[in-house]
Structures are given as structure tokens and as C-alpha cells.
Structure 1
Amino acid sequence: MTEKRIELFIAMSLDGYIADKAGSVAWLEEIEGEGDNGYTTFLDEIDTVVMGHTTYKQLFTLTDTFPYSKKHVYVFSNEKAGTKDEYAAFVNGSVKNWLENTSGKSIWLVGGAQLVKKFLEEQQIDRFIITVAPIILGDGTPLFEKGTKEQLELEEVVKYGQFTQMTYRKKE
């Protein structure tokens, strides 16, 4: 069996928030980047997208077209588990169990914070690609909850305009 690779590719503020206190990520649009911060290249390398239900709902407020229509899309959701819509299959339960039952090999963990926590608790993130925006929000949704601990090794640091992207892998 081919090994599955789970990658967290996400942006956060300098003080560690992935959304402001209203739950918005609009602040990312205010910062001068360079290109798409590696997004297109990353997206081309993955075959499966997984996210939480809140992140899924937020997608439809940010764009007119569903951006992952050429990927297998899964949404962790307690209320809709076991169902599908035109874009995604809704799942719940353990991450490990889901991984055993999905055919995806290169999996993007989109977010949000609760699902990141669940993947971390089950030690199921192989690479962390974190793009830091030069803004201090002061409050909001933290990427990592207090008490989160994971030993990582730095692979790469890339500058995209005012953004810094750091890639880490799980320390073996």
C-alpha cells in the first residue's frame, strides 16, 4: 500500500490566528503578497481535500465557484456525517479510521482549528506549510490550541511579498 501524506497548508497572523474574532479571513486580502504564495503549485500536488464544516461553509462566502471540484473533498461534520452534497462527502469519527477508508494519497488538511487539533491529537499531520501574514490580530481563532505540542523540523522558508512561508515536517 502506498503511504498517505497529510499536509496542513494554511495562513495565519503573526500572533498565530487563522481567523479574526468575527471568524473572518478577509484580513488576508489586505496584505501585499507575491503571486499566489505557492498555492497553485501545492494544489496541483494533492488529490484529496479535507476540512471542517465551518471552513466548508465559509468557502461559499469567499468565491462564486467551488475551488476544489477536481479533487476528492471530505468535510468532517457531526450533523451531516454519512451524507454528500454536489461538492463533498461528509464524515466524522476518528481521523485514523477515515484515512484507512479513503483512497487519497496526497491529502490537504485545509482547516479549521478544531480539525487541525483532531489531526494533531491522532498524530496524522506529516507536513506543516504555514504562511505568516505581517498582521497582529490580537484575538480570534488560534491555529494551535493551548497545550498543543509537536516536535517539527524546518524544511524551507520562502518569502512571498510581505508573507513568509515556513515548511516543517513531523520529526521522526
Structure 2
Amino acid sequence: MTQHSKVILDLAVTLDGFIEGINGEIDWCIMDPEMDFDAFLNQIDAIIYGRKSYDLWGEYSQVLGNNEHGDDSMWEKIHSKAKYVFTRQSINDTNHAHFINTTDLMSTVNKIKSQCEQDIWLYGGADIITSFIEHNLIDEYRLSVHPVVLGKGKPLFENVQDRLNLTLKQTNIYKSGVVQLIYGKARF
């Protein structure tokens, strides 16, 4: 039996449901080695971004010599993945990313899935996440809830119109206080 690639939403979120602060800050995000983010990166072939998220993080390169948490190898691994950027703008592909401007999200995502041997990380931002939710294209939700309340910021589930029923598959609790909740699509 052939295993199909899954689209996995893997995000850090605050206890009050924000993915970033009001000024885009993510300084609250704990890079906990116990979470083994490296293992997650090893199970994916591709990353899907919205254009704004790609502009911020798609080609991110940290300051050289600032490798206190092994971030250089993490970013190397991230940048080795195929990147798909969903945008309303007309942008030509680069050596690093495929820019996609389509109204047929379902067939485009299915085509990407068929080209991948491993899973696909839906990185974000909020608009592309909402579109994927509306089209039922997320196979797994991995939400790492961080022990911080921001009060204001960019909510994870913004403009979601319909109820989304999920099934809890796994819970991981880390010494840092981060709790990772892994959900799959609800089966009725």
C-alpha cells in the first residue's frame, strides 16, 4: 500500500491563541531541544507558505556566528526543502521557490502531494491556513502551545467560518512548559 503525503500544520501558538504579537514578534517562542524539531524536518519534503510568511522566513538567514542552539543546521535543513508559495501576485519561480497563483487550491495541493515522498509542512500565515482549513486540506494539526499570554496579536484561526472537528492523536509535554497537541481529522 502506498503511503500518501500528509499536509501538516506545525505551529507555535500562545496560550491565548496567537501565532505572533501585534508587531509580528515571536520572541516568546521557545526552541526546546527536547521537542526534536530536527526529527520533524526529517519527515518532510516540502514547505507551503503564504507570500507574506515566505517574505519573512522563506529565505531567512541568521547572523553568522550566532549558532548557540544549532540553528545553522536547522535553517540549512529548512532551506533544503522544496518551497511552494501561494500568492495572488504574479511572481516567477526562483531556484528556491515555486510561486503559485491559482483559484484551484484543491488540485494544486493534490499535485504537490503526489510529487512528495514525505509529508508537507504548512508553515502559514493565517490567510493560507484559513484557506487550507476551508478546503479541508490539512491532514494533521501540530500545535505547540507555549506558556505565555500575549493579550493581543495575530490569531491562529482567523476568519474560519465553519466548525472544524478534530481528533486528538497525541499530547507531548516538555520541561520548558510547552505542550504539543497533535490532532487529525475527525472520523465520524
Q: Paired residue for 2:45?
A: 47
Segments of 5+ residues of structure 2 without an aligned counterpart are 64-71
Mapping for residues 1-172 of structure 1, pairs under 5 Å: 3-28=4-29, 31=30, 34-35=32-33, 37-59=35-57, 60=59, 63=62, 67=76, 68-81=78-91, 83-93=92-102, 94-102=104-112, 103-105=115-117, 106-146=119-159, 147-160=161-174, 161-172=176-187
Distance in 2 (alpha carbons) for counterparts of 1:124 and 1:77: 17
**Structure 1 residues 92-118: Cα deviation after superposition (integer angstroms, max 9, x where no partner):** 223212123321241110111111100
Q: Paired residue for 2:67?
A: none
Over 3 Å counting, the alpha-carbon distance change for 1:151 and 1:42 in structure 2 is: same
Identity %: 28
Q: TM-score, normalising length from structure 2? A: 0.80
Over 3 Å counting, the alpha-carbon distance change for 1:39 and 1:3 in structure 2 is: same
Over 3 Å counting, the alpha-carbon distance change for 1:48 and 1:36 in structure 2 is: farther
Q: CA RMSD in A?
A: 2.1
Segments of 5+ residues of structure 1 without an aligned counterpart are none
What letter corresponds to residue 23 of structure 1 in structure 2?
G
Deviates more, 1:102-111 or 1:54-63: 54-63
Q: What is the CA distance between 1:34 and its match in structure 2?
A: 3.3
Kindly indicate whether the alpha-carbon contact (under 8 Å) linking 1:158 and 1:166 is maintained by their aligned counterparts in 2.
Answer: yes
Higher Cα Rg: structure 1 or 2? Answer: 2
Please identify runs of 4+ aligned residues in structure 1 that moved more than 6 A: none
**Structure 1 residues 44-102: Cα deviation after superposition (integer angstroms, max 9, x where no partner):** 00111101111111115563575423211111111144x21232111122321212332
What letter corresponds to residue 24 of structure 2 in structure 1?
G
What letter corresponds to residue 163 of structure 1 in structure 2?
V
Q: TM-score, normalising length from structure 1? A: 0.87
Q: What is the CA distance between 1:24 and its match in structure 2?
A: 2.1
**Structure 1 residues 114-152: Cα deviation after superposition (integer angstroms, max 9, x where no partner):** 111000000000100000011111111110025352111
Aligned length: 168
Distance in 1 (alpha carbons) for counterparts of 2:60 and 2:25: 10
